[in-house]
Amino acid sequence: MTAEAAKAEALIRHYFDMCNAADLQGLIECFTPDAVHYFPPGLPGAPWRGAKAIAEGWVWCVETLGSKWTIEKVLCTADGREGVIEWTHWKTAIGEVLRGDEWYVFNDDISRIVEIRAYYASPVDKSAPVNKLQEFDYEKRGYHLSPPLVKGRA
């Protein structure tokens, strides 16, 4: 792995740490001021535009939905300018689990996220306890089967 790819991966992992901690300022600092987070159709208010709006959106999810996230896989380009991850979003307060991918674009020095494009594994099915790919063996592949324990949060 190149130093640039490692820097991009470290930024993604830091961003997820800030999401799980519901750290508003830490989240804002992960993005360029004009960053955009795109989502599949159906999420009210999407896309989220601007570092502050993105940060506030994830803090709201933690406070309202009991959101916690795990990163399952990470791939970054050798030059560190782009990356893609596979994630799990645990909505512990409402008993939902969503899996998906995100494509990342970084600024020139790989210090901030410019853009995220999220793709869900499946349409959200409110009647399903876990939203996931049909017949994909998450356990066998080593994916998390429960939300992370986050220091200071239930």
Say if 76 falls within a structural domain: yes
Cβ–Cβ < 8 Å for 36, 49: yes
Counting the structural domains of the chain, the total is 1
Say if 26 falls within a structural domain: yes
Q: How far is CA 16 from CA 13, 41, 105, 137, in A?
A: 5, 23, 15, 24
CATH number of domain containing 72: 3.10.450.50
58-97 pLDDT tens trace: 999 999 999 999 999 999 999 999 999 999 999 999 999 9
Say if 125 falls within a structural domain: no
At residue 153 the predicted structure's pLDDT band, cuts being 50, 70 and 90, is low
Q: Is the pLDDT score of 4 beyond 80?
A: yes
Q: What are the φ/ψ torsions at residue 73 (nearest 5 degrees)?
A: -145, 150
Domain range for residue 53? 3-120
20-37 pLDDT tens trace: 999 999 999 999 999 999
Q: How far is CA 132 from CA 36, 107, 148, 149, in A?
A: 25, 31, 18, 21
Say if 29 falls within a structural domain: yes
Cβ–Cβ < 8 Å for 118, 84: no
